[in-house]
Structure 1
Amino acid sequence: MPGDEARREAQRWITHARRDWRDASLLKQAGSESDSLFWIVQQAVEKYIKAILIREGIVFRRIHDLEKLTDLLPAGHELHNHRCRLELLSIRAMQSRYPGEYDDAKPEELEDAFATGGFVMELMQQEFPAETS
């Protein structure tokens, strides 16, 4: 994908990441303790990672595994230092999709997921400043 086209496509992914993050933030502000927060936060993070991959011209499969997607990021990207946090978010997001098979989320797990999402959204704002202002 040529440069300008890749930047436009990455911007579309960033727009969707911001929407997902806004939705997660609204649910949290409303006091939600729903496991669905894991999924929404994970989706915001996933879309940010995919925006970077698109912008960089890196081909990726349609997967939701944040750890595997992070492995595709350019060497030295900050998210490589947070693979454990991203892996936990992926696991809890997957578990939230299968009620009854896993324990319900504990409030501190939701807080951790939200903290991870917040950290990643701050990175996104630094990396895509024109698109996130």
Structure 2
Amino acid sequence: MDRAALAKEWMHKAKRDIGMVELALENRPDYTDAICFHCQQAVEKYLKAYLVWLDVEFERKHNLGYLLDLINEKDPVPDELYETLERLEDYAVAVRYPDDWAEITLDEAKEAYKTTLRVEIIVLEKVKI
């Protein structure tokens, strides 16, 4: 599969995560852990799409900071984006295990969704497919 097709596939999968977030926000806003998990997943997939577009290889990790570092080597990433995505990083694993459970408010889930949409816009502006 060529780079453009692979980047498009990553973005398609990210969009499906966003779709799950939107369904949950509309129908089950109390599922804040699932909302935040899918936000993190969507951002991760958008960053991977951009890395594919940049022709940068990456390991199979679920670490947004790692992905941003790789992007930063080719295209400077503002510090603000690192700080914004740091919070989403916690949603990759912690929300899936009861012993790491911390209640997430609806406002926090909505903020995660807004962050996800900002990342989506950034990547879509850069990856022209």
TM-score > 0.5 by shorter chain: yes
Mapped contact 2:95–2:102 kept (Cα < 8 A): no
Residue of structure 2 in register with 1:112 after alignment: 111
The residue number in structure 2 matching 1:75 is: 75
Q: Does 1:94 align with 2:122?
A: no
Amino acid at match of 1:91: D
SS at match of 2:92: helix
Matched, 1:10 2:32: no
2:66 equivalent to 1:37:
no
The answer as to whether partners of 1:17 and 1:47 remain within 8 angstroms in 2 is yes
Q: What amino acid sits opposite 2:115 in the alignment?
A: T
Q: Distance in 2 between matches of 1:99 and 1:108?
A: 21
User: Taking structure 2 as the reference length, what is the TM-score of the superposition?
Assistant: 0.86
Counterpart position of 1:27 = 24
Aligned-pair identity (%): 28
Amino acid at match of 1:47: K
- What does residue 58 of structure 2 align with? 60
CA RMSD, aligned part only?
1.9
| 1:68 aligned partner, one-letter code | Y
SS at match of 1:64: coil
Aligned-pair distance for 1:92?
2.7
